[in-house]
Amino acid sequence: MSESPFAAAFGLVLARDPALVEIVALSLRVTLTAVAIACVIGLPLGAGLALARFPGRGAVIVLVNALMGLPPVVAGLVLYLLLSRSGPLGDLGLLFTPTAMILAQAVLILPIVTALTRQTVEDLWAEYREQLTSLGSSRLRAIPTLLWDARFSLTTAVLAGFGRASAEVGAVLIVGGNIAGYTRTMTTAIALETSRGDLALALGLGIILLAITLALNAGAYGSARLGARLAGGGAHA
């Protein structure tokens, strides 16, 4: 009797199959780098958008919120056109490389981090505005303080971005090409191996992806609980 796909999948995971490990390692490297880039840009950008006052601010906020739902295939297509040989960035030779995949994921994550940061910092500013102003803190100087105070809430935003990037297929497939051993990620490999009928590898990658998702949700829940506990402790103090 042939081995069931689930048994074979768990066997690949437990045996640390080289092909599986390589795909998972590349996926994590690409996603973590994209999240880091999005956070470096999105956290201060979101905080600045929360506190700044300028003509057209409402339109910018609407645009950022709308981009949270940006279709991945659209983002991938735009980047493909930019990075292709006939595109303005074609000379860089980034198309069908992990770097292009990182850019695609960062583009998708950035609006999420920016929008959630803006809302969080705006709420905190409304709560602490008088206190910070009395201490001589301007809106600009208050940004680091508010970001630090909101660190647990912002962890949830970062994890939300990581979750979207780790589950992304369309954009990375377009700009990465799903090249074996070079640009093949968990999601693109699952799609490919399922179409090939190699359910063991597809299920093995699915198990790992599901485990990562569960870990992310546990991390977000733990961060929220810790933040609430510390806030309650500060209130009692």
Average pLDDT over residues 186-210: 89
Contact 140, 121 (CB under 8 A): no
Distance (Å, whole) CA 53 – CA 121? 14
Contact 120, 150 (CB under 8 A): yes
Residue count (the chain): 237
Task: Kindly report the CATH class assigned to 17-236.
Answer: mainly alpha
Contact 169, 101 (CB under 8 A): no
Confidence label for 111 from pLDDT (cuts 50, 70 and 90): very high
Average pLDDT over residues 127-143: 77
Average pLDDT over residues 185-210: 90
| Residue 224, amino acid | A
Using alpha carbons only, what angle is made at residue 182 by residues 206 and 110, rounded to the nearest 5 degrees? 70
Residue 200, judged by CB atoms within 10 A of its CB (0-12, 13-18, 19+), counts as: buried
Among the listed ranges 27-41, 48-62, 116-130, which one has the minimum average pLDDT value?
116-130
Distance (Å, whole) CA 3 – CA 16? 18
Per DSSP, 87 falls in state S
Average pLDDT over residues 150-162: 85
Please report, rounded to a whole number, the percentage of residues in the chain having pLDDT higher than 90.
Answer: 46
| Residue 208, amino acid | I
Residue 1 has pLDDT above 50, yes or no: no
Contact 42, 107 (CB under 8 A): no
pTM of the model as a whole = 0.87
Residue 236 has pLDDT above 60, yes or no: no
Q: In the chain, where are the structural domains located?
A: 17-236
